[in-house]
Amino acid sequence: MFVSVIVPTYQRPNFIGDCLDSICQNPGHYEIIVMDQSRDDLTEHVVRSKGEPCIIYQRLSRKGASRAKNIAIRMSKGDSLLFTDDDCLVSQDWIGAITGIFERHQEIGAIAGKVMPDYSRQSLLVEPRSVWLEESERVFKVLVDPWQVGGGSGNNLAIRKDSLKSAGLFDEMLGPGAPLKSGEDGDMVYRLLKTGINILYSPEVLVYHRAWRSREDNLRLSFNYGLGRGGFLTKHIAERDNFVYKLSIKLLQQTLKRLFTVSTGPARAEASYFLVGLLLGQILMAHHVITKKHSHINHS
């Protein structure tokens, strides 16, 4: 099976090289599509210095992870699409684990994997984020909170190209560099499930996430996570999705409970930032949905 590995990157020349090295250690038949949204040429120099014929470098004029992924999907030649982030390191059998599952289980349309913190590079000044440590394999066949499927994270996600034809491309309102800053991967997972695609979570599909953010960075990240989650909820509620409506009530209750039960300190601050982002994300997505609807009416 020939696969396409897609790596969006933005202003991280000090990370992208190690990420690519980890992918290139994998045996198999694949291409690596690097979607560079950086303002300078440093990332391009790092990527081209690898001299690997399997690496395809694409420079983009503006940032947006969802937009970058969608362009890469259209460029790709693989039967399946494997996504990771520029601040991640994939295991040496990452590609083989994914292709093996797809070849053995034709009923599986997408795979989410385990994400561990990269303790070898971790500083005492930073805290691990974007990790998912569940040890049990599980197949998701019905609607669930997409953030319970491998954490709803796009740093370790594989999708058959045929499955994407059913679910559609990434929502360019969501994700890093977009108006709503995150949530494009959780939204994709939800749309895959909604179209009847079975998703397997496998701890054997392993990626390491490099912990590099300070506590101040994590506050911004919590706000951005709230923005994306709020946007996701409003988008699907506007489509009269009763499951997501119930999900939104549950998430608000959980966030408020966390806010008022945790002790003062980083955990409470992050809950506060997430809540503000969650509410603002709903407002911004509602405005987008209404504007889009009025534009459609005016052109019809």
Per-residue pLDDT tens, the chain, 300 aa: give them. Answer: 999 999 999 999 999 999 999 999 999 999 999 999 999 999 999 999 999 999 999 999 999 999 999 999 999 999 999 999 999 999 999 999 999 999 999 999 999 999 998 876 554 444 555 677 789 999 999 999 999 999 888 999 999 999 999 999 999 999 999 999 999 999 999 999 999 999 999 999 999 998 767 888 889 999 999 999 999 999 999 999 999 999 999 999 999 998 888 766 888 899 999 999 999 999 999 999 999 888 777 766
Answer with the one of 209, 226, 261 that is the final residue of a domain: 209
Query: How far apart are alpha carbons 261 and 9 in whole angstroms?
Result: 37
Q: Are 136 and 263 part of one and the same domain?
A: no
Q: Are 193 and 291 part of one and the same domain?
A: no
| Contacts (Cβ under 8 Å, ≥6 apart) of 236 | 190, 244
Among residues 110, 105, 94, the alpha carbon closest in space to that of 30 is found at 94
Q: Are 185 and 221 part of one and the same domain?
A: no
Q: Are 123 and 192 part of one and the same domain?
A: yes
Q: Are 195 and 48 part of one and the same domain?
A: yes
Give the DSSP letter string of 48-101.
Answer: HHT--TTEEEEE-SS--HHHHHHHHHHH---SEEEE--TTEEE-TTHHHHHHHH
> What is the model's pLDDT at position 218?
87
Q: Are 283 and 169 part of one and the same domain?
A: no
**Residue 150 CB coordination number (10 Å):** 31
> What is the model's pLDDT at position 300?
61
Among residues 180, 159, 158, 163, the alpha carbon closest in space to that of 171 is found at 180
Among residues 5, 27, 46, 25, the alpha carbon closest in space to that of 154 is found at 5
> What is the model's pLDDT at position 121?
56
Per DSSP, the three-state class of 249 is helix
**Domain total of the chain:** 2
What residues pair up with 117 in beta bridges, in sequence order?
A: 209
Q: Are 142 and 66 part of one and the same domain?
A: yes
Answer with the one of 209, 233, 253 that is the final residue of a domain: 209
Q: Are 131 and 276 part of one and the same domain?
A: no
Range of the domain at 238: 215-299
* CATH code at position 15: 3.90.550.10
Q: Are 150 and 258 part of one and the same domain?
A: no
What residues pair up with 29 in beta bridges, in sequence order?
A: 2
| Contacts (Cβ under 8 Å, ≥6 apart) of 150 | 112, 113, 114, 115, 132, 134, 156, 157, 189, 201
Answer with the one of 142, 174, 209 that is the final residue of a domain: 209
Q: Are 238 and 190 part of one and the same domain?
A: no
Q: Are 179 and 266 part of one and the same domain?
A: no
> What is the model's pLDDT at position 123?
46
| Contacts (Cβ under 8 Å, ≥6 apart) of 115 | 88, 130, 131, 132, 133, 150, 151, 153, 155, 156, 206, 207, 208, 209
Among residues 67, 64, 68, 65, the alpha carbon closest in space to that of 56 is found at 68
Q: Are 235 and 158 part of one and the same domain?
A: no
